[in-house]
Every structure is written in structure tokens, then in C-alpha cells.
Amino acid sequence: MGLVVFDTFANVVDGKLVSTASTRHGINPATLEPLPPVPVSTRETVHDAVAAAKLAASGWAETPLNERQQRVVQFADALASQAGDFAKMLTLEQGKPLSAARDEVAQAVRVLKGVANLTLPEQLIEDTERRRVMTRYVPVGVCVGIVPWNFPIYLATVKLGPALVAGNPIIMKPSPFTPYCGLKLVELAQRFFPPGVVQVLSGDDNLGPWLTADPGVDKVSFTGSTATGIKVMQSCAQTLKRVTLELGGNDPAIICSDVDIATVAPKVAHLALYNSGQVCVAIKRVYVHSSIYKDFVAAMVRHIKSLVVGDGMDAASVLGPVQNVMQYQKLKNMVASIKSDNLNVSAGDIEGAFPDRKGYFMNPIVVDNPPDDSEIVSEEPFGPVFPVMQWDTEEEVIRRANSTSAGLGASVWSNDSSQASRIANQLQAGNVWINCHQEIQPNASFGGHKQSGIGSELGLEGLKAYCNVQTVYHDKGGSCRL
């Protein structure tokens, strides 16, 4: 089997590589060098892709489940066999260190294989002499997967895998900031799926709204910010499309008094700063019990000082650049407000946060005990900066942890499992972790409460989200009321 070559980048429509009249390009965030040209799709490109998906839909839906699952596994194996090429491209376009890029590809492979292991249940409600009543799950139809720029490969497979296993065609739309791996992923998929089943379109800011408005699309699965998620849902409402929204988070981590500081503090700092903090389920608020606050913060600061910020292609780099100029400016504004509010900083320094070098680099900052209503606590920074606060009573810390419109993830860290469970059971989030954070697996649902999302991805719930529910009543004679 040949490999995909990372030299030119095209849309994939109806099984063919297609270019467009105009092109644009991404930027390597570590060097600010332009990356190769990518298509700018038009309304016509969208119509072509939706038409091809509609044509492919019934054939794919009728393909037996075990064959669909096998093809997804073969696709995963092909991705694994080209992991090095995908990882390199990912670092160039997204900025993350090469080792983290390899981890992302490995995670994508795991997701595809894990999802291919799931089977949709059929529920026999009644089976009597009179009738048989059964509820089953049927493919929802033409799907669109809209992906952000923080995990362009992994988050694409989280949509591709379940859509395909459930029997649907899907059109992928990568972020304009990181289109390259998304385009190649779907090019690679062409070896395993019939034309029109897996397609990808790159474009500018018009493309997402065109796709969500298209009446030929039956379901949109969107991952991105809460503000955009609201627009996606409004647009989908016009034709009552099914929507799954995976949105922003503001995850709290509650650190109890009995933790082993030497092990837990570096872990918590790592989980706040991984991918330079650009993770929907990064730890974004750390609440430390007041009896250990000073020592815990000191241990986090020691760890953070050891982290090298640099180009992801450099093996020494642990934290890559911020991915794009828009996010970089947002972080600059947030750091300016930390300064103007005179908040204390325990790691990093405000003046040196943005080093004077080429690239969107930011040195990590920990804000020491800011007020609960400060921007750094109430807003999702999505960068290498986070607040650490003190708590005294469980009732108080649970209230503070829950006092946000976000509800994606939350964690409790304690050696006392009854205390940990007691706190965990009161947290308002779709993912609650004890002594860990950011753990996600393909056979478990992942989703947000409150304004962090609608519905969930992965697990059986995620697979069902790519289906319509259908109840079949089979009258065996005489039970029909009319």
C-alpha cells in the first residue's frame, strides 16, 4: 500500500483529490514561516460534497456492520504505519512538540480501533404471539465534522470513527489554522471507503456556516468554542439537524490536604500546561487545601521552571508555541489584565511572559490566589497560564468549583477515597476524575454539562449520536387497534 505524500494538499470530494481556484495557507507558529497552499472551498464545492455524500449514503448504510468496523480498523492501521509523517506535519502546523504529536497520532489510532469494537444494541421490547416490538439504531445520514486547531488529528478521528461505524458518510472540516493533517487523513481514508463516504473540505471562515446551513446535511458534530457552538446550533435549527457540541471548559482540580505533594504537584502542573494549555480538558483552576497551599505551589513552581519552551521540532522543547495569532493576542490581553489587577504571580513573570523572539511563544505563568471573580478564574484562558487558589471546607470548594457556566471536566486529588468520592459526586461536569485528569477512552462517553456542550462523543452514547432511533412494530395478527 502506498503512502500519502505531504507535498501538495487538496480537498477530497467523491473519492477524488480536488483543488480550488483560490488557495490560502497556514503558518508554522514556531517560525511564522508560511506552510503550503490549501484549498478555499466555495459554495459549489460544498454542494458537490453533499451531493456525493447523499449518493454514497445508502450503499454505506447497507454495508454490514462487521465490514464497516473492519475498514475502520484497516484505516487505523494505515494511519499507524504513517505515524511519523503525520506527527511531523502536526508539529509544523500546530506547534506541539514532536513527542506530543506522536502521542496524538497514537491516540487517534486507539480511538479508531476502540470505536470499531463498539456494536449498536437492538432492544427487544415485546415478543409475543400477537406482535414483536423492537427498537434499533439506524444511520442518521449525511454528517459534517467540524474540528478545532488544538488536536487536529485526534479530534477528527473522534468524529470519523463513530460516524463510519454507525453507517454514515461524513464531510470533515478542519480548522483554517490547522488544515494539513485533516486533509491528508481523509486522503489516506480513500483506500478503505467508497467514494463520497469520507470527504474533507478546507476553506476560510465562510465554510463552516455553509456546511451547517446546507439542507442536505443531517447531522453536525462540532468541537470548538462555546460562542461558535451557539451559532452552529442556531444554524442547524433551521432544518432541525441533529447536533453534537463539544465546547469549552474551565476545569477545576481540587487538591485535598493528604496528597503526596512531591508526586501530585508536578502532575497537576503538567495537566494544566500540556499542549501549552490548549486543551479543552486542561486543568484551568487549581484549588489547594490551605494547610498545604504554600508547599504545593512551591512544588508546582519548581516543576514549571524545568519546562523548556521552544520549537516543537527541537527535542528539548516541552511546551510549544501558542497555535495562532488570534489566541496569542487573547493571551496577551489576559496577561495585561493580570498586571492591571495587580495579581500575584508565583511562577513566571508578567514582563517576560512573551519572549522577544520569532514565533507565538509564551512562558508559563501561575497566578497566586486571585479573587474568584477575576478574569483568569472565570474565563477559559486556553494557554500556558492558570490560577491557584486556597480552600478550607468541602462545602465551600465544591460551590466555588461549580460556580461556572462550564461543565466539561473536574478532578479531586486525595488519598482518602471516601472524601474523594464525596466531593466527586457533587461536581457538575461531564467527566469527573479522581487522582487523574484528561483521561479519555474510546469506549466511554465524553461530553460536557452546562455550556460545555450538548450530547456526547465516544462510548455507546457517542455511537448512538450518529443514529436515529427506530421502533419497529410487527403485527403477527390481531393486535392492530384499527
375 catalytic per annotation = no
Residues ≥6 apart with Cβ < 8 Å to 30: 95, 310, 311, 312, 313, 320, 321, 359, 360, 361
Burial of 55-67, coded b for 16+ CB within 10 Å and e otherwise, reads ebbeebbebeeee
For ligand NAD, the closer CB: 293 or 382: 382
- Toward ligand NAD, which CB reaches closer, 280 or 467? 280
Q: Residue 435 carries which DSSP code?
A: S
**Alpha-carbon distance 179 to 205, whole Å?**
13
In angstroms, give the least distance from the CB of 178 to ligand NAD. 8
Structural element, H or E, at residue 154: helix 154-165
Nearer of residues 20 and 228 to ligand NAD, judged by Cβ:
228
Of 149 and 287, nearer to ligand NAD (C-beta) is: 149
Q: Return the number of the residue (156 or 288) whose C-beta is nearest ligand NAD.
A: 156
Nearer of residues 6 and 382 to ligand NAD, judged by Cβ? 382
Strand partners, 145: 172, 221
Euclidean distance between the first and final Cα of the chain, in Å?
60
CB 280 → ligand NAD: shortest distance, Å? Answer: 3
10 versus 247: smaller Cβ distance to ligand NAD: 247
Rounded to whole angstroms, the Cα distance separating 36 from 24 reads 8
Which of 93, 104, 187, 246 is flagged as catalytic?
A: 246
Q: Give the three-state DSSP class for 239.
A: coil
Chain residue at closest Cβ approach to ligand NAD: 208
* Distance (Å, whole) CA 301 – CA 180: 36
CA distance 213 to 238: 8
Output the smallest distance, CB 409 to ligand NAD, in A: 9
Distances (CA, A) of 94 to 156, 199, 272: 14, 22, 18
| Nine cell digits for residue 152 | 487536529
Give the count of beta carbons closer than 10 Å to the beta carbon of residue 120. 17
Name residues whose C-beta falls within 8 Å of residue 182's C-beta, 6 or more positions apart in sequence.
147, 152, 153, 156, 172, 173, 174, 200, 202
Chain residues that interact with ligand NAD, rule: CB under 6 A: 146-150, 155, 173, 175-176, 208-209, 212, 223-225, 228, 231-232, 246-249, 280, 380, 382, 408, 448, 453
The x, y and z cell numbers of residue 73, run together, are 480498523
Return the number of other C-beta atoms located less than 10 Å from residue 425's C-beta. 10
Burial class (CB in 10 A: 0-12, 13-18, 19+), 478: exposed
DSSP for residue 190: T
Q: Give min distance, CB of 160 to ligand NAD, in A.
A: 15
Q: Which CB, 147 or 170, lies closer to ligand NAD?
A: 147
What positions carry a catalytic annotation?
246
